[in-house]
Chains A and B, each alone.
Chain A
């Protein structure tokens, strides 16, 4: 689906600004962002003014705007990488595409710049197939189909809730891994989109993601904050937690999550070894999260996204709360998030 076929009015591009100077970032994305509405949310902890080049249709939100909408007490929910969730909250569009501000367009193996926005929207507009694995990956793309042995009743698929893209150059590895393999860069361009099967858990990265806001907006929860969370992805887990919740809720409601194309090129930033020095809480929290999500069953009565988030928060508090205060805080944040979502979107 080319850029011309996409209804740009249905898309908001939400950027969390953790860096003040967005000139290089936005200029590099200009060919693919032009014609779209942008929401830029400035990390409330960022002191400098944002530098945004001309020619974009953009709304910028910073700390005072955030406080005005959610109240000063709740503004902390949107600090650091979580600032982008404020953009999800106030958007009025069907689809959101969100890319970290240290990423630029990647080139495909033919040397052509990848239109990540178009690819994400295409992924979201086509069905997902979580109930049975297609060995030729995305059956709806040009030149492919369902293979022999794929049940016909499952070929219409289910709505796609999220599109998780990937990264060339600096892949989204954790600090210990990148510190161990300092020179490792991802050069492998895997030309596929696929649906992550039902019940399969995965670590969803917030670096390059898109989702159907109308379908699952409230499920993207800015909730888990690790102690000493920093301004590099190596020092966060908020997107991974959010992704575990999103996948579980999608599975429960019969939606699909895709992974694969598009790629973005992630610039060098930060120091993995430096990040490693901070005692990395994320590891422990993930170990506890996995068995929790594996065993979790949302009640049949949870039939909409908001109910699912609330039920999930309850379960987190009950089963994980005593393990680590970060979980209790996450559960509280999830409940608060749903309240904010409902109040902002009913008045909006």
Chain B
């Protein structure tokens, strides 16, 4: 049995790392009570709340947090016709938050994620760990058997080439979850009681050329390095698929990071995932994805971007063309998705003119 941490009495850290350079993006339809528990670690930071669902509902934000909030009406107003690329009735809408942010770094977390405890019982400051991960290099070109070589107490092992020890810039820090694991619906149905109680004390770089399932529950990234690739796709209302938003972003992000020589890390920090979603509802959402991913994975595994694609936007547009060409045959949804990918980039560039090429 694993429990969340009790953060009562933990002092607020006024010298919080990067507090003026990082936005926390939270999608929600219910309330943000969970922020109370995160207060010592997150209050110094600015929040971008993306309110999904009924815009007439008021979302209560706990006292003391500095935030901006966008509901569907705001998204429609700001993006106009381009708002079509932002999902409705799905947490995929969170990527709107990435687009409107003006900061260098983003941390995104789900509203059912509590503070975890490490094996010594200490509350895990997940954001602090994400920042450490992002600020130090990745090592995608050669696997280090002692995991993150830049961590205190670790290093590169014998045989690790010296020319590769400087590493590359880290674009993404992918955190994990104790308690309710991020399983797909079939696995949830077969193992409804399984809980993740294993605290693996490691951060590692995912090797170049290797794809992974990126979960959006506990994720941080360098918006300046990879932001435009973090589009969470067309999910939810009016769409044939759900629960593949973060997966889609993760596959695109990894292909582009590999192409541009950026690193993706996974492992620490852990959060405590408190709520298990309904597996029958999940099955309906994921159903098509389970079949489609069999074709999507080989597509991404063999995707080759051109030498001329040197910015994230250029890479992403190229990818969207490949999606249209190669995946439309699976389902017309991919045709729509490819168009939405282009719309996303257009919207991103409009809202972020300084980051263009």
A-side residues, CB < 8 A to B, are: 109, 132-137, 143-154, 164, 166, 171-174, 177, 181, 184, 186-192, 196-205, 233-234, 237, 240, 243, 259, 282-283, 286-287, 290
Contacts and interface: CB of A to CB of B under 8 A. Distances in A.
Contact of A184 (B153, B209, B214): B153
Nearest to A289: B161
A144 B198 contact: yes
Contact of A109 (B119, B164, B210): B119
Nearest to A203: B159
Interface in B128-149: 142-147
Interface stretch (B9-17, B34-42, B81-89, B180-188): B180-188
B153 A149 contact: no
A162 to B, nearest CB: 12
Q: Return the 5 tightest CB-CB contacts between A and B, nearest first.
A: A203-B159, A149-B213, A240-B159, A200-B207, A202-B143
A300 B197 CA distance: 44
Given A132-B211, A184-B153, 9 more contacts: A148-B187, A151-B297, A153-B294, A166-B145, A191-B200, A202-B143, A203-B160, A283-B162, A290-B142
A interface secondary structure, majority: loop
Contacts of B197: 143
A136 B145 contact: no
B244 interface: yes
A133 B210 contact: yes
A303 B28 CA distance: 54
Tell me which of B164, B212, B215 has the highest count of chain A C-beta atoms within 10 A of its own C-beta. Answer: B212
Contacts of A283: 162
B174 interface: yes
B207 A203 contact: no
Tell me which of A177, A181, A198 has the highest count of chain B C-beta atoms within 10 A of its own C-beta. Answer: A177
B189 interface: no
A197 B143 CA distance: 9
A145 B297 contact: no
Contacts of A287: 161-163
Contact of B209 (A143, A164, A200, A290): A200
Contacts of B142: 200-203, 290
Nearest to B251: A149
B243 interface: yes
B198 A145 contact: no
Contact of B153 (A150, A153, A187): A187
Tell me which of A154, A192, A196, A237 has the highest count of chain B C-beta atoms within 10 A of its own C-beta. Answer: A192
A331 B181 CA distance: 48
Given A133-B212, A172-B158, A200-B143, A145 B293 contact: no
A307 B207 CA distance: 28
A186 B154 CA distance: 7
Contacts of A188: 146, 153-154, 201-202
Contacts of A153: 294
Nearest to A196: B143
Contact of A135 (B159, B174, B297): B174
17 contacts: A109-B119, A132-B210, A132-B211, A133-B206, A148-B215, A149-B184, A151-B293, A164-B145, A166-B146, A173-B156, A177-B158, A190-B200, A197-B210, A199-B210, A200-B207, A204-B145, A234-B158
Nearest to B207: A200
A132 B154 CA distance: 26
Contacts of A237: 158-159
Interface in B169-223: 174, 176, 181-184, 187, 191, 194-202, 206-215
Contacts of A184: 153, 155
Tell me which of B153, B191, B290 has the highest count of chain A C-beta atoms within 10 A of its own C-beta. Answer: B153
B207 A199 contact: yes
A212 B246 CA distance: 37
A165 B1 CA distance: 28
A246 to B, nearest CB: 13
Nearest to B212: A133
A283 B290 CA distance: 46
Nearest to A288: B161
Contacts of A164: 145
B201 A190 contact: yes
Contacts of B330: none
A164 B159 CA distance: 14
Nearest to B298: A151
